[in-house]
Amino acid sequence: MSKETNILIIYTGGTIGMVKNPATGSLSPFDFSHIIDQVPELKSFGYNIETITFSPLIDSSDVTPDFWIKLANTIKENYSNYEGFLVLHGTDTMAYTASALSFLLENLQKPVIFTGSQLPIGTLRTDGKENLITAIEIAATKKEEQPLVPEVAIYFENKLYRGNRTTKVSSEHFNAFASPNYPDLAEIGINIKYNNSAIYYPTKKEALKIYDKIDSRIGIIRLFPGLDRDIVEYMTSSKKIKGLILETYGAGNAPAKEWLIRALESAVKHNKIVLNITQCMAGQVDMSKYDNGKRLLNAGVINGYDMTTEAALTKSMFVLGQFSDYEEIKEKLNKPMRGEITI
């Protein structure tokens, strides 16, 4: 390979790739092989920028686990030819896809940077150009010939976040994402200030490994006052559901109702995983803190600590896809695999 920096843009769909048809005024995707024509500023980098466009393009609302596996395999197939990867993705499920990719790509040693935009790249006030330009620079940046951000990350509106720590917080503001429980990997102003202590750097070089099994038989139970008993008992007893994400109050608390505890105990007894994460934007689960939390702990509920819903869901799907032993599954869920948990 030449010493030229090679960056691969993978356009999967989303607002960022839209331009306005001057004749009709409607928005339609543009050909990303002509990205330099749309964003001529990219010439200033001097990078070799190549593109792959998914066919068909996908609205991020239609993302599925099969899409995650296709994306992971696309990176694997091109891994040796590029120094960094940029994934253009719709914002609605970007945090889910970035979380999933962090688990599907093991021994990752190159940047996989997700970005998108709130306004199409072909509009005057678009945030797409800045997001695209900066994300490419981040994907290409090295120090002593080593990538500066060798992990799955999301860049949006002047902040770089660990992918599996990120959640979408706004449907209308340019700063659409947040990482409430983990420091930003970089902050972008006049200069890019990397937070090296927050970035994961592999200690040894190993070959990239791709996983292609995901078990999506997961349900989410979000607690709220008036939660219906029949619905909970249906979900905890359903043979189609292999795991449950329990979105609890505060530090991991649930109502002190006997029927709820019995339902959760029965689910655990039948080897269903039940993973406890907090509804709060920030903070983490500590089931030993209050009596109502201790009841969940005694029922066999697993501590999800400070995982986002996106990370908890995709990690559960990933772990269930790779392992069959119940104790091993619980062990994997209860400790960090890709920096998604703070313990």
Are 105 and 170 contained in the same domain?
A: yes
Helices (H) and strands (E) in the chain, counts: 9, 20
In a domain, 313, yes or no: yes
Q: What is the pLDDT of residue 34?
A: 63
- Give the total number of structural domains in the chain: 2
Q: What is the pLDDT of residue 2?
A: 46
Q: pTM surpassing 0.85?
A: yes
277 pairs with which residues across the strands?
Answer: 247
Q: Which residues are annotated as catalytic?
A: 15
Question: Which of the listed residues 194, 210, 226 is the one where a domain comes to its end?
Answer: 210
Which CATH number goes with the domain that contains 72?
3.40.50.1170
Are 105 and 141 contained in the same domain?
A: yes
Question: Which of the listed residues 182, 210, 238 is the one where a domain comes to its end?
Answer: 210
Q: Residues near 46 by Cβ (< 8 Å), separated by ≥ 6?
A: 4, 5
3-state secondary structure at position 309: helix
Question: Which of the listed residues 210, 234, 268 is the one where a domain comes to its end?
Answer: 210
Domain range holding 178?
6-210
Are 20 and 145 contained in the same domain?
A: yes
Q: Residues for the chain: how many in total?
A: 343
Are 201 and 244 contained in the same domain?
A: no
In a domain, 341, yes or no: no
Are 290 and 156 contained in the same domain?
A: no
pLDDT digits (tens, 9 = 90+) for 147-184: 999 999 999 989 999 999 999 988 887 788 999 999 99
Are 206 and 240 contained in the same domain?
A: no
Are 87 and 28 contained in the same domain?
A: yes
CB 41 within 8 A of CB 133: yes
| 187 or 121, greater pLDDT | 187
Q: What is the DSSP letter of 33?
A: G
Are 92 and 41 contained in the same domain?
A: yes
pLDDT digits (tens, 9 = 90+) for 209-258: 999 999 999 999 999 999 999 999 999 999 999 999 999 999 999 998 99
Quick one: which H or E segment has residue 244?
A: strand 243-248
In a domain, 191, yes or no: yes
Which CATH number goes with the domain that contains 290?
3.40.50.40
pLDDT digits (tens, 9 = 90+) for 34-73: 677 777 788 788 899 999 999 898 888 899 999 999 999 9
Are 184 and 259 contained in the same domain?
A: no
Residue 1 pLDDT exceeds 50: no
Are 175 and 305 contained in the same domain?
A: no
pLDDT digits (tens, 9 = 90+) for 262-315: 999 999 999 999 999 999 999 999 999 888 889 999 999 999 999 999 999 999
In a domain, 315, yes or no: yes
- The CA-atom distances, in angstroms, between 235 and each of 42, 228, 229, 300 are 50, 11, 10, 16
Q: Residues near 195 by Cβ (< 8 Å), separated by ≥ 6?
A: 183, 184, 185, 186, 187
* Range with lowest mean pLDDT among 89-98, 118-127, 247-256: 118-127
Are 24 and 166 contained in the same domain?
A: yes
For the record, the structure tokens of 80 come out as 């040796």
In a domain, 339, yes or no: no
Rounded Cα–Cα distance for residues 252 and 277 (Å):
7
Rounded Cα–Cα distance for residues 55 and 94 (Å):
18
- The CA-atom distances, in angstroms, between 338 and each of 61, 111, 130, 314 are 25, 14, 28, 12
* Range with lowest mean pLDDT among 90-99, 122-131, 197-206, 242-251: 122-131
In a domain, 188, yes or no: yes
Q: What is the pLDDT of residue 121?
A: 73
pLDDT digits (tens, 9 = 90+) for 10-29: 999 887 877 777 677 676 67
Are 70 and 194 contained in the same domain?
A: yes
